[in-house]
């Protein structure tokens, strides 16, 4: 199975190939405060839009129990998303292959947006008067499950980047 580093590199290459400026969560985004590690995997910038992004590699599947466990860094809103998905999964209303992606789309990435300026700052080169958007990258094999999760979350996808390298990135609001 492809490693996390290799997959993250594919996502970075795909975004850069489409004209996005890419800031790596480990290299380029400085955390702050006691929750300094709670920051996005990447920030992508193009025009007047800034995308706060999360990457899930092939090794990080949507059925993972850890995606459903409340974390110390969760806001109340994020914890509520996790609990709602778990309840709906237990009731048979959504399968874990889709519910896991809902947790990321409606919970984790939204939570990162809430934490701009608290847990991390936007890169200094990001221009003022920007619009904050969201991005989610995953293996191509998850495409159908993720699209169903976007429907369930009622999120509007503005762009889908598929450069045929095995990764897909959805840019949404």
Other Cβ atoms less than 10 A from the Cβ of 165: the count is 15
What is the model's pTM?
0.94
Name, in order, each residue with C-beta under 8 angstroms of 128's C-beta and a sequence gap of 6 or more: none
- For residue 12, the SS3 value is helix
One digit per residue, pLDDT tens: the chain, 173 residues? 678 899 999 999 999 999 999 999 999 998 887 766 789 999 999 999 999 999 999 999 999 999 999 998 889 999 999 999 999 999 999 999 999 999 999 999 999 999 999 999 998 888 888 999 999 999 999 999 999 999 999 999 999 999 999 999 999 99
User: Could you tell me the residue range of the domain that residue 122 belongs to?
Assistant: 4-172
Find out whether 49 and 130 touch, Cβ atoms under 8 Å: yes
Q: What total of structural domains would you count in the chain?
A: 1
- For residue 138, the SS3 value is strand
Distance between CA atoms of 168 and 11, rounded to whole angstroms?
8
């Amino acid at each position: 199975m492809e490693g996390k580093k290799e997959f993250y590199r594919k996502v970075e290459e795909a975004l850069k190939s489409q004209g996005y400026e890419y800031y790596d969560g480990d290299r380029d985004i400085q955390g702050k405060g006691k929750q300094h590690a709670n920051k996005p995997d990447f920030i992508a910038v193009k025009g007047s839009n800034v995308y706060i992004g999360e990457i899930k590699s092939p090794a990080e599947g949507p059925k993972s129990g850890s995606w459903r466990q409340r974390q110390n860094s969760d806001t109340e809103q994020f914890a509520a998303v996790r609990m709602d998905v778990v309840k709906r999964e237990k009731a048979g209303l959504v399968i874990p292959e889709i519910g896991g992606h809902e947790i990321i789309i409606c919970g984790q990435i939204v939570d990162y947006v809430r934490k701009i300026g608290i847990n991390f700052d936007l890169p200094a080169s990001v221009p003022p008067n920007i619009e904050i958007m969201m991005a989610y990258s995953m293996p191509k094999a998850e495409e159908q499950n993720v699209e169903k999760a976007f429907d369930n979350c009622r999120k509007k996808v503005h762009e889908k980047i598929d450069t045929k390298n095995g990764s897909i990135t959805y840019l949404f609001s």
